[in-house]
Chain A
Amino acid sequence: MLLTEKDARAICDKLLSYVKADDASVAVTSENYGHLRFAGNAFTTSGARENVSVGVTVWIDKKRGAASTNEIDDESLKATVALAEQLARVSPVDREYLPTLAQQTYKPVNGYADATSNISVTSRAKTINDVITACEKAKVVGAGFHQARGTAGASATKNGNFIYERSSLVSLSTTARTPDGTSSGYFLRNHFDVAKLDTARVANEAIRKALEARNPRVLEPGVYPAILEPQAVADLLSFFAFTFDARNAEEGRSPFSAPGGKTKLGEKIFDERINIYSDPWHPELPGSRAAQGGMPAQKIYLVRNGVLENLVYSRYWAKEKGKEPTPGPVNNILESSQAPVTIDEMIKSMDRGLLLGRFWYIRGVDPRIALQTGLTRDGIWYIEKGKIQYPVKNFRFNQSLIELLAPDNVDLIGKPERVGNSEGQGGNAALLPALKVKKFHFSSQSEAV
């Protein structure tokens, strides 16, 4: 059972009543989680978890200590507060301490569906049976993962702030492989409302990709024009909005740093159609009402019309630099200033290039230019003269994200879709479009399927 606002407030009040420290921030989170996994067209593991966790951070003479537990009887709560205070007493002064916030006013966000949090295990079993049945009919081998989570929790400060929030998320991913293991397709979608998750689409798209990626040809690695489907964009960019840290940039260790100890703030570093922003009230991608330190979140632009409009100032760094702290980001939206272009139109407009559905095992290589390496996976196709010609074998890439979105590299931009990062198993969401780019850098081949 998730905590009600009344229950969560009671726990926060209780924790704060035990605090003897000068300042404190407390939080309680409850979780209902369930999953069902399948592979080889059969059920593998399935489970459920219920948990409640409590966190306490205190400051005594500006010295900080933190402790957490999942035991919420009175004695354990008292012990957790006492432990945080004990740790604070032996710690040096926290030079980045700022008083916790007084009561704030938050505008409601709706990102919770009860049917997601309390998902029926029998209907979930039937949903996955339908996915497996579709795989069997198509003579492919299906594997996949269904998860549903509900969370409800609150945080409060000694200075009087309190916020209670609920959220939910359901995701389904499916991989379809031909029985000989020479072709594979993948599709993933998520939503906060289980009624809006199109599970048949997930299965059908994974199967279609596996069948259409059969008999891939070998293509030489190199620089190719490319169309990235929203999933591929999510695999590269779903966390991008959270990398615009002002302190890193001003300390000279970010792709947004500039020579001479400056930053690129105000410069047009991306294509002029690109906007990257955070909006807690977006109906498809509701975010938390609370940004860093409990500040009420606001809609903020990081990039507007290709210009780096905002770097993100933490409360501490803002104070150091005489700036306002940034009320976000709490989610990640990339959209074009112009009318979106469909993937079919992108293909028709392409003289020669590649269609990419998914990336895998992406890791940072050079933080100065946000250079990432990784691999294509689960379907890649060669396009010539406006038509898909044939599937090709996978590549390793080494690609700078800054250069990917640069003014001379972006060709066309699609309509943003709610997508989840595949390495993150769909447990996060972003609104990202398909992208057609002029150059994407492939450095070697991969035999992997």
Chain B
Amino acid sequence: MTSRRDFLKTAGVAAGALSLAQLPDWLSGVVAAEEAAANGVDKNALADVALSTARKLGVTYADIRINRYRNESIATRERQVQNVSRSQNFGFGVRVLYKGTWGFASSRDVTPDNVRRITQQAVEIARANSVYQRKRISLVPVEKVVTSWKNAFEKDPFEVSIDDKIQFLLALNQSAMKTQGVSFVSSSMGFVNEQKFYASTDGSRIEQYIVRANPSFNVTAVNRSTGDFQTRSSLGGPQGMGYEYIEKHDWKREAQQAGEEAVMKLKAKPVEPGKYDLVLHPSHLWLTIHESVGHPTELDRALWWEANYAGTSFITPEKLGKLQFASKIVNFVADRTQPAGLATVGYDDEGVPGQRWHLIKDGIFVDWQTTRDLAAMTGQKKSYGCNHGDSWGSISFPRMPNVSLQPGSDNTSLDDLIAGVEKGILIYGDGSYSIDQQRYNFQFGGQVFWEIKNGKRGEMLRDVAYQSRTTDFWNSLDALGGEAGYELGGSFSDGKGEPGQSNAVSHGCPPARFRQTNVLNTARAS
């Protein structure tokens, strides 16, 4: 933990001319007061203005989120730096529930007069729509909370020098280029810091400070004589961690391996289409979990709230507690408390604490991802805390928590899983992905594919993608790796909603084995 004095000192050096308003709000009320004095932003006083204005205008609920977001991005290719940038934005949004109808308004101009005006605008929008409202929205209750929270990172990436980061990426590129035949490499690292303040008519006041890291690279090998090219992207995904994530993972070794594998892919054996047993590494399987387990268990989809865009869900409400979603050894847990999880929070954006609960238990679908309005619609007594807005300017709505496949109880290794396969494919890394709007039919590619023959890893394959139906696929899972093989993958920018919003979310899993899945050769698919 950084002391307040150390933080002030290092933030001043690292951030240069950035204002005091960027200081983490979790530090103390004293800092909040200093900040208020420095730039006139007193979040508690602004919240009082918004909530009292909303109450006077007859709302049944109101909240205000006053948030600052900092982003840093560094991008390189080969021996060049392509971009070094930092951005920040600050603003507030007021959400009101008036006669069972949501209204929201937001602005970058964070002053008491403007907070009053924007609150009035949010109510005007709700009022205009409420004239025609057919189904009134209500909320399940939540306990009042006054607190602060920060995620568990060790090294604030915004305090690490830009030069160190650039040298790191250029050295990574050099590692990737060591293999003869590598033509191009690009690499980047991005960091996000969210400083969030939430206050509501329930009486809650919550401040949160969150840091996330997103390193990645991509290697390309080109065979100019044939016009062929192949790529290999990084296997390590983003994490809800600080700069320690960059330092702990051996990125240079992986980059060198990626270079070797990109070149190997040019000469790899094209896959013969057909049925194969699949052994899926966590660097690949996280994305299949995200698309085929994470999204269909969102309650807003099941209630057709996303019918116009992301789609509905093949899991309909009456399937709760009945659907054999997966084989009996499969357990999926939703968890907003998981260390290093991208969707890990202290509280969601409507004051509900982060929680952990089963979505799939012993293969049966047992619960949904919920928010306060969705829970009320379906007669539940509490929300699981999945409400999130990606900016002060975005209305918060249901978003995915970390959803993870629990490891098996024994010490089954990747090699053990391979040993049980006569004819199969081992897949590393996420590649092309596509799934229908009810989450039945999917197709996934990958980064690196190895043939499995008679229980052993064989030659490298290329042009592999598998297609399946969600419940067929998860019911074909017959073996799970143990805890030692559990890894966390994830996405920095999962899109959903209208207007589209981005959500960072993690998915953990061990390696797993799936029987008799349909594999196609993508080079011969069209």
A residues apposed to B, CB below 8 Å? 33-37, 39-53, 55, 64-71, 75-76, 78-79, 82-83, 86-88, 90-92, 94-96, 121-122, 124-126, 128-129, 132, 141, 143-145, 147, 173-175, 177, 181, 184, 186, 251-253, 257-261, 360-369, 371, 373-375, 377, 394, 396, 398-400, 403, 425, 427, 441, 443-449
CB of B268 closer than 8 Å to a CB of A: no
Q: Check A147/B498 contact, CB under 8 A, given A46-B104, A64-B83.
A: yes
A-contact bits for B204-234, CB 8 A (1 contact / 0 none) = 0000000000000000101111111100000
Q: Which of B8-49 contact A (CB under 8 A)?
A: 15-19
Q: Whose C-beta in chain B lies nearest to the C-beta of A423?
A: B309
- A445–B440 Cα distance when bound, in Å, is 10
Q: Whose C-beta in chain B lies nearest to the C-beta of A121?
A: B128
- Give the dominant DSSP class at B's interface: mixed
Q: Whose C-beta in chain B lies nearest to the C-beta of A122?
A: B128
Please tell me if the beta carbons of A43 and B436 are within 8 angstroms of each other in the complex: no
A-contact bits for B42-86, CB 8 A (1 contact / 0 none) = 000000000000000000000000000000000000001111111
Please tell me if the beta carbons of A67 and B86 are within 8 angstroms of each other in the complex: yes
Q: Whose C-beta in chain B lies nearest to the C-beta of A426?
A: B498
Q: Check A48/B436 contact, CB under 8 A, given A69-B87, A369-B526.
A: no
Q: How far is the CB of A121 from chain B (nearest CB, A)?
A: 4
Q: How far is the CB of A179 from chain B (nearest CB, A)?
A: 10
- A124–B126 Cα distance when bound, in Å, is 12
User: Given the complex, which residues of B lie within 8 Å of A147, measured CB to CB?
Assistant: 498-499
Please tell me if the beta carbons of B229 and A51 are within 8 angstroms of each other in the complex: no
* Cβ-defined partner of A47 (8 Å) among B305, B395, B469: B395
User: Given the complex, which residues of B lie within 8 Å of A252, measured CB to CB?
Assistant: 183, 222-224, 227, 229
Please tell me if the beta carbons of B436 and A377 are within 8 angstroms of each other in the complex: yes
- Give the dominant DSSP class at A's interface: strand
Please tell me if the beta carbons of A445 and B441 are within 8 angstroms of each other in the complex: yes
Q: How far is the CB of B220 from chain A (nearest CB, A)?
A: 6
CB of B447 closer than 8 Å to a CB of A: no
* Cβ-defined partner of A48 (8 Å) among B19, B105, B307: B105
Please tell me if the beta carbons of A67 and B87 are within 8 angstroms of each other in the complex: yes
Please tell me if the beta carbons of B436 and A394 are within 8 angstroms of each other in the complex: yes
User: Given the complex, which residues of B lie within 8 Å of A75, measured CB to CB?
Assistant: 19
Q: Whose C-beta in chain B lies nearest to the C-beta of A370?
A: B526
List 13 contacting pairs A-B, 8 Å CB cutoff, sorted by A. A44-B305, A55-B87, A90-B162, A96-B82, A125-B129, A128-B132, A145-B499, A147-B498, A252-B229, A261-B224, A371-B522, A447-B314, A448-B439
User: Given the complex, which residues of A lie within 8 Å of B341, measured CB to CB?
Assistant: none
* Cβ-defined partner of B305 (8 Å) among A40, A70, A126, A371: A40
- Known A-B contacts: A121-B128, A374-B434, A447-B438. Give 9 more (CB < 8 A): A42-B134, A43-B101, A49-B393, A70-B91, A90-B166, A141-B304, A143-B306, A373-B434, A448-B441
Q: Whose C-beta in chain A lies nearest to the C-beta of B131?
A: A125
- A240–B500 Cα distance when bound, in Å, is 22
CB of B467 closer than 8 Å to a CB of A: yes
- A86–B435 Cα distance when bound, in Å, is 44
Q: How far is the CB of A432 from chain B (nearest CB, A)?
A: 20
User: Given the complex, which residues of A lie within 8 Å of B183, measured CB to CB?
Assistant: 251-253
Q: How far is the CB of A291 from chain B (nearest CB, A)?
A: 20
